[in-house]
Amino acid sequence: MTLRRRIHAGIERGLLLVAMSAASLLGPVVGRSLRARHAVAGSQDFRRAEWFQDAKFGLFIHWGLYSVLGRGEWVQDVEQIPVSEYEKLARQFNPAKFDVAEWVALARRAGQKYVVITTKHHDGFCLFDSKLTDYDVMSTPFGRDVIKELTDECHRQGMRIGYYYSIMDWHHPDYLPRRSWEQRKGDAKFRSADGADFDRYLEYMRGQIRELLTNYGKIDILWFDGGWERTSEEDRAKFAEILQMARDLQPEILINDRSNVSGDFVTPEQYVPATGVVGADGQPLLFEVCMTMTTGHGSHAPTA
């Protein structure tokens, strides 16, 4: 069995749906980011990112309730599954062969230098023990804090660890906007937004980021996603406050660009820019390509 097949097979034993290999940095950190975060040579930001510049290769793990269905991490939206039905998948989440030691060891053998895992994807389900919601792994038959176990193992094996966190949340009642198929009044799948308060959701998000960055030791990367639905200047200002809190809690952390706020690196997806990535001033930027091994984001053992 090839190493690639072993990586797929080993991670599949934990019901993993998506494994991404992330090629890290094909250009030097000498310019400013798309949103003017400076990382000039010799600066503090540059020094923080040196390990990332040298790493070149990491593992991006997407895992959650969607893994039970095995049809992609966007399955709830693509198949228009109501929240009340989708959340029942939590009753089936029980990956008996979950083995973080094997995951991390395989990643190391493949030459990967860091791991990023979905703490919460767009469906809102949390793989960590959150005191702010019951919609988490502790409320499943599995009942173990996946994020803690993986983080501890990465620390033991000398692997850098990063946390993906989705700004979008299809489960939380205060996240707006609703999905387009949830907005059709009179339809059986209609989900009212009456009483929803996005500021209240932001406090939830702030609280969860605080949990993630205070409960598990040193975290190397915070990988936001889904910020494209909230792009107003008011939203950006509020996101910026959350990012500043993250930097205060973990001064060495690297943060990506998908919150619509200044980040340390940009994230082209499923393609490698032939000439690198440059900012508005023409200077090259630190970037990470998340690239799957297949044409999609899903993986099953028979096709590994």
> What is the DSSP code string of 75-144?
HHHHTT--HHHHGGGGGG---TT--HHHHHHHHHHTT--EEEEEEE-TT--BSS--TT-S-BGGGSSS-S
Neighbours of 17 (CB within 10 A): 26
pLDDT tens-digit readout, 226-271: 999 999 999 999 999 999 999 999 999 999 999 988 789 999 998 8
Ramachandran bin of 270, using left for φ above 0, alpha for ψ from -120 to 50, beta for the remaining angles: left
Pairing of strands 288-292, 254-255: unpaired
Domains and CATH numbers, the chain: 3-18+57-277+287-303 (3.20.20.80)
- pTM of the full structure: 0.87
Q: How confident is the model at residue 216 (pLDDT cuts 50, 70, 90)?
A: very high
Tell me the backbone φ, ψ of residue 220, rounded to 5 degrees: -95, -30
* DSSP helix/strand/coil, 282: coil
Nearest to 172 by CA among 238, 231, 110, 87: 87
* pLDDT reported for residue 35: 38
Q: How confident is the model at residue 181 (pLDDT cuts 50, 70, 90)?
A: very high
Residues 6+ away with beta carbon under 8 Å from 68:
15, 89, 92, 93
